[in-house]
Amino acid sequence: MNKSPNQNKKIKPPKFNVIFWIYIPLFAFLIYMVNFGYQGGDPQETEWYKVKDNMISQGDVEKITYVVNKDIAEVTIKKDSLKKYVNLFGGKEPKYSPQFVFYIKSDDALVEARESLPDEKRFEIKTENRIDYFGNIISWLIFPALIVLLWFFLIKRMSKGIGGGAGGGGIFNVGKSQAKVFDKDNNTKVTFKDVAGLEEAKVEVMEIVDFLKNPKKYTALGGKIPKGALLVGPPGTGKTLLAKAVAGEANVPFFSISGSDFVEMFVGVGASRVRDLFKQAKEKAPCIVFIDEIDAVGRARSKNGGFSSNDERENTLNQLLTEMDGFGTNSGVIVLAATNRADILDKALMRAGRFDRQINVDLPELKEREEIFKVHLSKLKLSPELQTDFLAKQTPGFSGADIANVCNEAALMAARKNKQFIEKQDFLDAIDRIVGGLEKKSKIISPQEKRTIAFHEAGHATVSWILPNANPLLKVTIIPRGKALGAAWYIPEERQLTTKEQMMEEMAATMGGRVAEELINGKISTGALSDLEKITKQAYAMVTYFGMSEKVGNVSFYDSQDSGYNFQKPYSEKTAELIDAEVKTLINSSHEMAHKILTEHFDGFNKLANLLLEREVVFQEDLVNIFGPRQGAEKQDENVAKDKETEPESLNKDE
């Protein structure tokens, strides 16, 4: 006879539960009190005059017990007289005694009432002090019990997750690592297919994946697995996503933690969490430890120990340095870190043996932006006419996060207009909104102010179009956006090196708005604030950083290792005066250059400003119609033909 599957299973005896065996006697005690502690219920509350006039006068009272310490009197009715009062007890004779209770200050009235009755109707009077021992015990125990329960609750909350690995949040786990672990059980699978663009960075990290998959391939030749890699790049370029893709491709456990998670108010917590993190990583080796925003804990240590030092952060950094390259070996543990401020990291952290390689994750180029758009657009309902290469050309300088935001904003705009599909114009509006801010068409601007804004923006556009090395205009508007009263978008030329002449022409284009106001109104306004700020910073950089001043000389006061605590200028007061004078000279030269351009092309400049007043938005085609093709456009077209790209890779906004 075959046994059923249920018969084959061993029946486990129930676990002994202390709480369960505590509840049983308590429940039994309550049942006893309900059934035997008193016979059926509480006495009916009444008044003295009712007892006197109805019960005592008729001779129905057998006994009255006066409780001195509680100022109450309990009335017991004779058994043969209970039938008279069944209507007060739901039509049934009460089985308990006393039947009634009333409040009274003394027993004098009771004695007086009894003495007024004949002997056959007189009742018994008992006087007593009643102590509720059970109630007193409960009242005395309730406060300590609450304290004990509260204590156990706090202990449970504080020790939550103890022994459960990473992520414990209690006070006893304050020294535990807060890293999130992604492994085979809870891994959200991310591969290199999910990472659009970043081709050079993917090639670099591919080697790390190969190390983790085939370690013997490299160790057989005597090589060592790299300790770590540092991902460096602007925010939103996909550093964290790339690290997750590495873990997904290698199919190994992935510990993710932020640099700020090591920092706590308690001394020694950061170092303890670092130790715990690497302890867990060693147990699950081979694995990847990813520290996002490592600059929060890896900032360069101060040379002045008494000023602006943070012992706790430095202790955490020291522990991290020891774990990455100490006496212990972390075989199979690769540390990936990400930061957008690699310049402030400690030199000891950056050396070979800790972070063996530094991988730059730059802003995506045209083709990469097109790939990123394809990833995000795959989830959207698009118009058939929409082309991804057009969107990529309209978003120079955008990061992967910016492109994702553009796609989402376009979808929201299309939904706001009750469209069935997302169209080209929705994306253009989304780009304008992200770059320039929300349009404020309802903002009240006087006709004179609007005219000034139009000539201001026309001045920028004219100078930038005429000068061959300045950034050509893409679009200009006098519709207020964000905090700006007018905005212009330019297409900077893609170059790695910039000459002094090119920088001067860019400054002249920036100064064009201020010069336009001087020519038209004969006076200046506050509208050129951002322009003046920009050219001032650029002029100081030319003199103090790039050595583009003949009087100051070929010197640079730029310190790439500046810790931020040097309050003394690296030059004398005489040199400072010379720098200020040279900066003013450069700014004045850019002013004269812009004035000359606007004077020579005043008719076109005036026509462009009036067109702006009429249409509020002017495009590049309009400038071609007014001024003709831009100088240097032929050379640009040749580069476009070679690179198969029509637009550079950054976008600037002027206000």
Active site residues: 457
Q: Is the peptide bond before 286 cis (omega within 30 degrees of 0)?
A: yes
Residue type, 605: F
Point out which residues pair with 114 in neighbouring strands: none
To 5 degrees, how large is the angle CA 213–CA 217–CA 222?
130
Residue 161, C-beta contacts closer than 8 angstroms, at least 6 positions apart: 167, 168, 169, 170, 173, 176
> How would DSSP label each residue in 265-310?
SSTTHHHHHHHHHHHHHHHT-SEEEEEESTHHHHBPPPS-TTSS--
Please tell me the distance from the alpha carbon of residue 507 to that of residue 498, in angstroms, as a whole number: 13
Q: What is the DSSP code (8-state) at residue 182?
A: E
> How would DSSP label each residue in 591-613?
HHHHHHHHHHTHHHHHHHHHHHH
Element (H, E) at 215: helix 215-219
Q: What is the CA radius of gyration of the chain?
A: 43
What are the phi and psi torsion angles at 101 (to 5°)?
Answer: -145, 145
Q: Is the peptide bond before 384 cis (omega within 30 degrees of 0)?
A: no
Please tell me the distance from the alpha carbon of residue 18 to that of residue 20, in angstroms, as a whole number: 5
Q: Which of 206, 284, 296 is nearest to 242 (CA)?
A: 206
Please tell me the distance from the alpha carbon of residue 603 to that of residue 600, in angstroms, as a whole number: 8
Question: How many angstroms separate the most distant Cα atoms in the chain?
Answer: 135
What are the phi and psi torsion angles at 258 (to 5°)?
Answer: -95, 150
Alpha carbon dihedral 583, 584, 589, 592, in 10-degree steps, equals 150
Which ranges of 394-499 would DSSP assign to H, the alpha helix? 400-416, 424-436, 447-466
Residue 117, C-beta contacts closer than 8 angstroms, at least 6 positions apart: 56, 59, 123
Please tell me the distance from the alpha carbon of residue 149 to that of residue 492, in angstroms, as a whole number: 69
Residue 69, C-beta contacts closer than 8 angstroms, at least 6 positions apart: 129, 130, 131
Please tell me the distance from the alpha carbon of residue 335 to that of residue 289, in angstroms, as a whole number: 5
Instruction: Answer yes or no: are the C-beta atoms of 543 and 507 closer than 8 Å.
Output: no
Looking up tokens 């001024």 gives: 627
Alpha carbon dihedral 179, 180, 184, 186, in 10-degree steps, equals 160
3-state SS assignment for residue 40? coil
Q: Which of 359, 262, 266 is nearest to 320 (CA)?
A: 262
